[in-house]
A and B are shown apart, each in its own frame.
Chain A
């Protein structure tokens, strides 16, 4: 861009008339008054290397806090020697998801099958133990890895259930139809925090003594069911956007109800609602810190624990900025991933 172009761009976009000019100058003033002090605090005066709080003498941000606590923020109280198991589980997950980009379309359903039915078992055995692996109680799970586990579990639990509920709501059988409507309306009508409290606190009181369903599992299923109601409504939106002709065409080919839905209707419906589904899953990801209230320490909970250690008091700002950046980064990643899916599945010509 040469000088003339910049001048032109400025004039068109920022200073096209007098009130736009005032707004532009005002915004510029705000940026200029915030950014330098922010950079000064977060980078120039910040301390990056050290081992204790007393190493932070420069007056800026104390990123030492993050580096010292990093392992705990990511893995919670998971035993040091077993960390490879968590890492391996996530590496398998990442490899599977990325491989979906490079394989032939025919293999993709198998990858999806693997993700929804086989990987959860592998991941659970790896992280929880069994088959010769030492048992690691869910009590010590925590940090960012717990956030991911809950999000992943929530998605693979809510998605199939949501699809069935969406189909059920459009069913011609009254029992199924009204059951699905009641189910969705019930779970959509109560706040997530209520679901978490019920799963963590009330549910065990209803069980006979000495039967113990793991708290994390109860909470995870609670989140999964809660999200399935939202997923169902999003997918139903997609189902309704399909023209009647699609159903008629499928039926005229003699397809059964399930064949029609899984081969003709759902592939088209889900494709159109990818933005809505992404929305729901990002919301799920960002809702996970609520589990702090039932005593589980995911990423935000671990930051709270770390910043209230006697020797690390006063690190709240650094901790929360770190959490904010992590959440933003992974939400953005999820959003980009689904955008690429959208492009891939698009049948419209550009």
Chain B
């Protein structure tokens, strides 16, 4: 009997190793696969204003979309060689793990359990989000600290709901949550007067304000009650690929810091500034360290632009999403965006 047990255990062990080795067959090959395929497969949302969305002609846009385009520019030299796959919040990580996509840029919050528990790597933060509140101007509330005995419209089953509870508990304030499954319902209920407050991530507050009957009647309170760093994700078994994507994002931030834009990148090729020379790959061997050509960073800036350009075009104050830079400003200008040196 004992012998049989050992045998079956050995078989099991063999099967498990076999499965794991076949699983890992894809490790460290993402870059090669992308080059062979001629396109970057990018997982995006099923429609989040300003982050990833399509227009009526089927063209994708948003800051997450720009990131994917930048990755394609870096590797393939053409920002248009991206294939977008819309994913739901529920299946996004599994699709990435299964290898259907190369990078997930789907306004995903970076948390310890996701980074450590899922065999995935968050490669940085391309948007610092956080939960905020919207109230009616007529209510004369100018700070979240003054929210007491209010009805709050919130989406159920999200961290938003939990943050809300924590905030009111910590500040010893009374509130009554009114929960909805969809943001459209929550906003409509708030607009019709069923709640005094509407809460969601700040990136969504301004966009949702445009859905009310009279957007000018509502204000967004200054407080941010939670940390939601949103960033792109890749599989955890490919160091080279993680580096390529991480430095793609860093190059976009560094380019803004150095004042390199889509428009002036060509004229700056003749600059004497060593930092810009390194950024554009005219000096040093930044590309080689990532197994890329030295044009990689130039292609990103030329074809997609720097971080600030992408921000202003997709979520900035001039767009319907209407978000001021806030935390997403460069560290030199009062924000927390900071790229390690590109050298």
Contact = CB atoms under 8 A, between A and B. Distances in A.
A313 B22 contact: no
Interface of A: 68-69, 71-72, 77, 80, 137, 139, 197, 200-202, 204-205, 208-210, 212, 215, 292-295, 297, 301, 304-311, 313-314, 316
Contacts of A310: 49-50, 53, 207, 314, 319-321
A308 B44 CA distance: 13
A9 to B, nearest CB: 40
A69, A212, A294, most chain B CB atoms within 10 A? A294
Contacts of B56: 68-69, 71-72, 306, 309
Contact of A205 (B98, B184, B319): B98
A305 B62 CA distance: 13
Interface of B: 22-26, 46-50, 53-56, 58, 83, 85-88, 90-92, 94-95, 97-100, 184, 207-208, 210-211, 314, 319-321
A209 to B, nearest CB: 4
10 contacts: A72-B56, A77-B58, A80-B58, A209-B26, A295-B88, A301-B46, A304-B47, A308-B46, A313-B208, A316-B184
Nearest to A308: B47
Given A139-B83, A205-B98, A295-B86, A308 B49 contact: yes
B49 A309 contact: yes
A293 B90 CA distance: 7
Nearest to A215: B100
A197 B85 CA distance: 17
A209 B58 contact: no
B49 A205 contact: no
B26 A201 contact: no
Nearest to A210: B25
Contacts, number: 99
B58 A72 contact: yes
A199 to B, nearest CB: 11
Nearest to A316: B184
Contacts of B211: 313-314, 316
Contacts of A69: 56
B46 A305 contact: yes
Nearest to A293: B88
B98 A201 contact: yes
Contact of A209 (B47, B48, B83, B99): B99
A201 B50 contact: no
Contacts of B100: 204, 212, 215
Contact of B47 (A210, A309, A311): A309
B189 to A, nearest CB: 13
Query: 9 smallest A-B Cβ distances: which pairs?
Result: A308-B47, A314-B211, A305-B47, A204-B98, A201-B94, A316-B184, A295-B87, A310-B49, A310-B320
Nearest to A202: B94
B54 A294 contact: no
Contact of A313 (B46, B55, B88, B210): B210
A202 B97 CA distance: 11
Nearest to A314: B211
A308 B25 contact: no
A72 B208 CA distance: 23
Contacts of B319: 310
Contacts of A311: 55, 320
B49, B50, B83, most chain A CB atoms within 10 A? B49
A209 B207 contact: no
A68 B184 CA distance: 21
A210 B58 contact: no
Nearest to A67: B56
A215 B101 CA distance: 12
Given A204-B100, A205-B97, A209-B23, A304 B46 contact: yes
Contacts of B22: 208-209
B91 A201 contact: yes
Nearest to B41: A139
Contacts of B99: 204, 209
Contacts of A297: 46, 86
Given A204-B99, A210-B25, A308-B47, 16 more contacts: A139-B83, A201-B94, A201-B98, A202-B94, A293-B88, A294-B91, A295-B86, A295-B91, A295-B95, A306-B54, A307-B184, A308-B53, A310-B50, A310-B320, A311-B320, A314-B210
Contacts of A292: 46, 88
A69 B56 CA distance: 5
B88 to A, nearest CB: 5
B127 to A, nearest CB: 15
A274 to B, nearest CB: 36
Contact of A308 (B48, B85, B91, B92): B48
A313 B49 contact: yes
B323 to A, nearest CB: 11
A295 B92 CA distance: 8
